[in-house]
């Protein structure tokens, strides 16, 4: 099974969403990555700003963004399209700003947690190496030990492409 990292589909490397450092970012990270914060306990207004590499026009067309820490952010179009499949994800609303435009998006919490990394080969400084074979079939999953790492399957990529979702992909490096 091929695995992919999701990418924001813009040419600029400055393409992350920035949330205020401190309590707001920490709460989002605890919700999305560590899965230990109940969505009811998140701050009421989650407002992120795009880095300079994402224009307002681009923001209106994108279906995937990311915040630092590998926090996935999906468009409302993505959510509406995914309504009839089981992604094994929770979502909370967020407002994303680029220039003077504000667009509603959704921070994703990936519930599916399996071993996708080769932990022997993936050492600090050497990069992430993914396992060649998977025991389970999935759309999207976080690594069970290194929770900040996630990947999507070819099935996810094909589904998103069929539904014309504006998401970029990079195939992972295998061990």
Give the confidence band of 98 by pLDDT, cuts at 50, 70, 90. Answer: very high
Backbone φ, ψ for residue 10 (5° rounding) = -135, 160
Asked whether residue 135 carries a pLDDT value surpassing 80, the answer given is no
Asked whether residue 57 carries a pLDDT value surpassing 80, the answer given is yes
Q: Which residues on neighbouring strands pair with residue 110, listed in sequence order?
A: 89
Asked whether residue 150 carries a pLDDT value surpassing 90, the answer given is yes
Give the up-direction half-sphere exposure of residue 130: CA atoms within 13 A in the CB hemisphere: 23
Give the confidence band of 125 by pLDDT, cuts at 50, 70, 90. Answer: low
Q: Show the CA angle centred on residue 30, arms to residues 130 and 23, nearest 5°.
A: 135
How many other CB atoms are there within 10 angstroms of residue 141's CB atom?
A: 23
Residue-level pLDDT at 48: 98
pLDDT (average), residues 127-156: 90
pTM: 0.95
Asked whether residue 111 carries a pLDDT value surpassing 90, the answer given is yes
CB within 8 A of 88, min separation 6: which ones?
Answer: 110, 111, 112, 138, 139, 140, 141
pLDDT (average), residues 144-168: 95
Residue-level pLDDT at 124: 66
Backbone φ, ψ for residue 98 (5° rounding) = -140, 125
Give the confidence band of 22 by pLDDT, cuts at 50, 70, 90. Answer: very high
Q: What does the domain layout of the chain look like in residue ranges?
A: 3-171
DSSP for residue 28: H
């Amino acid at each position: 099974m091929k695995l992919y990292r999701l990418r924001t589909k813009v040419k600029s490397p400055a393409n992350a969403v920035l949330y205020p450092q401190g309590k707001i970012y920490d709460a989002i990270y605890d919700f999305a990555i560590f899965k230990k914060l109940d969505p009811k306990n998140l701050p009421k207004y989650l407002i992120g700003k795009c880095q300079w590499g994402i224009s307002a026009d681009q923001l209106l067309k994108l279906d995937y963004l990311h915040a630092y820490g590998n926090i996935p952010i999906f468009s409302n179009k993505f959510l509406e399209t995914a309504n009839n499949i089981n992604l094994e994800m929770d979502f909370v609303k967020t407002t994303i700003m680029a220039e003077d435009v504000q667009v509603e998006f959704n921070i994703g919490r990936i519930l599916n947690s399996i071993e996708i990394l080769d932990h022997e080969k993936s050492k600090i400084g050497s990069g992430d190496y993914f396992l060649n074979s998977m025991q389970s079939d999935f759309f999207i999953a976080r690594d069970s030990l290194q929770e900040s790492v996630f990947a999507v399957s070819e099935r996810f990529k094909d589904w998103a492409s069929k539904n014309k979702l504006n998401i970029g992909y990079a195939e992972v490096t295998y061990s």
